[in-house]
């Protein structure tokens, strides 16, 4: 850390900061300018708050030189993290496509969707069974029955399943079924949940909070990594802004910024980012052009009748069109969509 003293800081105040640095186990490096004094605090500082020094008399400001998200940072891990998820790899040159309904509604709905998205080129199936709804009176998800339907869909199509977990109390049950745990926007800073997932060795898809900064997203990833679970995928899903024409505003900047700051794979959710099926393909294309490692997209066989997020859900044929467009963009970027195998069971 670099501690910048006020121009009128007294020698006593400078000495006090130096002593403070030494007491925290760091080395102090003094650089006396004509107008101001800079003091470097050298050593392991990622777990220290800048406030430790900001509160001291005579200190003007404190700047970090290394990132506070040490495990997620590219500073100490320059190569991309690439890890396998049943049937494909994420974080490498291949772009992964996760698709499925917002909520699992019935056996037939999830099986029909699973076959359709697989046919169109999806690598993994999404579907919520515990839903974080704004109203407690809205559909809350099918729970374990939904997990059973998803497991059947996985058996039939060969696609791993991505399911949102809302609380660590759901962990034991979900561990039996789920391939990738999704942490939703509303739970990005549920630190107990993040710690519990850090203890598992299953991939976690961590979504950015509604009003979370990029640094806060990375600090949340750090909770999971600190538990020893290295398989974290970050997901931009739009943030809240003053704009009301769309449900959220896609922070497309977040993709190159995250790719620059971290070695973890970064994907985008164009469904929640826009809230309108009409805009999903455009933003999906933009994400791949911006360097995203994948997409998670809501697809429903009958969006008008969906119990949640129908307005932003693509019909399977629209999803298939989107995949073709995304493939073309991927090629321009020197990448490809991760290939898919044949379904294990044809029809259902």
Give 58 or 141: the residue with its C-beta nearer to ligand PEP.
141
**H or E segment at 296?**
strand 294-298
User: Site for ligand PEP (CB under 6 A): which residue of 237, 285, 300, 318?
Assistant: 237
User: Site for Mn ion (CB under 5 A): which residue of 94, 105, 293, 309?
Assistant: 309
Query: Applying CB under 6 A, does 128 fall inside the site for ligand PEP?
Result: yes
d(CA 164, CA 219): 20
d(CA 138, CA 83): 36
Q: Whose CA is closest to 318, among 346, 290, 288, 276?
A: 276
Q: How far is the CB of 132 from ligand PEP (least distance, A)?
A: 6
Q: How far is the CB of 271 from ligand PEP (least distance, A)?
A: 8
Q: How far is the CB of 236 from Mn ion (least distance, A)?
A: 15
Residue with structure tokens 């003007």? 60
At residue 71, the 3 state secondary structure works out as: coil
Buried b (16+ CB within 10 A) or exposed e, 169-182: ebbeebeebbbbbb
Beta strand 37-42 with 27-32 is antiparallel
194 binds, among Mn ion, ligand PEP, none (CB under 5 to 8 A by kind): none
Task: Give, as ranges, the residues between 152 and 211 that touch ligand PEP (CB under 6 A).
Answer: 184-186, 207
Give 125 or 185: the residue with its C-beta nearer to ligand PEP.
185
Give 39 or 218: the residue with its C-beta nearer to ligand PEP.
218
Kindly write out the interface string for residues 78-117 of this chain, putting x where it contacts ligand PEP by CB under 6 A and - elsewhere: ------------------------x---------------
Q: How far is the CB of 198 from Mn ion (least distance, A)?
A: 25
Residue 121: which region, alpha, beta or left (left: phi > 0; alpha: psi -120 to 50)?
Answer: left
Query: Under 8 Å CB-to-CB from 276, ≥6 apart: which residues?
Result: 246, 247, 311, 312
Task: Give, as ranges, the residues between 82 and 141 that touch Mn ion (CB under 5 A).
Answer: 102
Rounded to whole angstroms, what are the CA distances from 229 to 82, 124, 202?
Answer: 13, 20, 7
Give 132 or 228: the residue with its C-beta nearer to ligand PEP.
132
List of residues contacting Mn ion (CB under 5 A)? 102, 309
Footprint on this chain of ligand PEP (rule: CB under 6 A): 102, 128, 132, 184-186, 207, 237, 269, 272
């Amino acid at each position: 850390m670099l501690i910048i003293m006020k121009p009128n800081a007294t020698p006593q105040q400078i000495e006090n900061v130096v002593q403070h640095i030494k007491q925290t186990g760091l080395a102090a490096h003094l650089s006396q300018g004509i107008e101001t004094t800079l003091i470097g605090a050298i050593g392991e500082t990622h777990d220290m708050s800048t406030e430790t020094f900001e509160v001291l008399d005579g200190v003007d400001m404190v700047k970090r030189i290394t990132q506070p998200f040490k495990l997620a940072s590219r500073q100490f891990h320059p190569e991309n993290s690439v890890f396998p998820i049943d049937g494909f790899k994420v974080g490498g040159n291949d772009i992964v496509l996760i698709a499925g309904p917002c909520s699992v509604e019935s056996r037939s709905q999830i099986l029909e969707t699973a076959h359709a998205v697989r046919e169109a080129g999806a690598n993994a199936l999404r579907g919520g069974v515990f839903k974080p709804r704004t109203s407690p009176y809205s559909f809350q998800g099918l729970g374990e029955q939904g997990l059973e339907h998803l497991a059947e869909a996985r058996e039939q199509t060969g696609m791993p399943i991505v399911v949102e977990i809302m609380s660590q109390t759901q962990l034991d049950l979900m561990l039996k079924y789920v391939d990738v745990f999704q942490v939703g926007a509303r739970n990005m800073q549920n630190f107990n949940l993040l710690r519990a997932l850090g203890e598992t060795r299953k991939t976690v898809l961590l979504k950015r909070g509604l009003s979370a900064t990029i640094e806060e997203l990375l600090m949340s990833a750090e909770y999971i990594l600190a538990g020893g679970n290295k398989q974290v995928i970050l997901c931009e899903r739009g943030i809240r802004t003053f704009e009301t024409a769309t449900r959220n505003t896609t922070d497309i900047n977040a993709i190159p910024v995250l790719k620059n700051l971290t070695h973890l794979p970064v994907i985008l959710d164009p469904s929640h980012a826009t809230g309108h099926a009409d805009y999903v393909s455009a933003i999906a294309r933009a994400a791949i052009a911006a360097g995203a490692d994948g997409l998670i997209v809501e697809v429903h066989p009958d969006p008008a009748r969906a119990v949640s997020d129908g307005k932003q859900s693509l019909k399977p044929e629209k999803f298939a069109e989107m995949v073709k467009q995304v493939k073309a963009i991927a090629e321009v970027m020197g990448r490809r969509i991760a290939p898919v195998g044949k379904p294990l069971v044809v029809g259902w």
